[in-house]
Structure 1
């Protein structure tokens, strides 16, 4: 293990997704004196348990933009860093068990379209054809 510097411009405590993101973005902005401290392995705590799920639709347009940026960033990290990330963009499907939930999903789809997300409402028959 390398020794820890006696001083740094920025010291980040915790190597989860937030700590790693802060370190990554600071270095992308040109900061050279950034130290990230993690007691075990990077992303081994709560971040690891989140299973890497990145949903696109959030409650506000700004949070949705942040989720979109995150997805786009994850899609490029492996090529940029040479580190295998295992990131896959699979999309998702939400099933409405009743009419009330179907209305909620349609409202969410409408909001997603307003936020610039690709979304499609399909029938139960179409869902069975896509996912037998």
Structure 2
């Protein structure tokens, strides 16, 4: 949530300093793993950014329920905001090392099972191989 590496860093770079200011103001101590919260989208072409704190598989956080919770909580936050659409990166499957096949399965299973008013959900793959993995699973 502080603009480090991976997707988080890309969001902060593209959205500008307003996102970090809002993160610090709204979540001065961050959020626990598996939780989600929203901030302004800054300069991004969106109304909000929903930040989810994924488990770091490489560091030993291997409880799949935390990964599932990221998607569930993000959908709950989107519903509270009245969001009609949502785009997800494949949470924890980059530098956090969650095995991609299971990351895809967790995302799809959770998105399909959570009751939500969100009309459109997109899963975004970082590279062609990840995109194809997601496409095959759908």
TM-score of the superposed pair, with normalisation by structure 2: 0.28
Bigger proportion of residues as strand: 2
Query: Which of the pair has more CA radius of gyration?
Result: 1
Higher RCO by CA contacts (8 Å cutoff, separation 6 or greater): 2
TM-score of the superposed pair, with normalisation by structure 1: 0.29
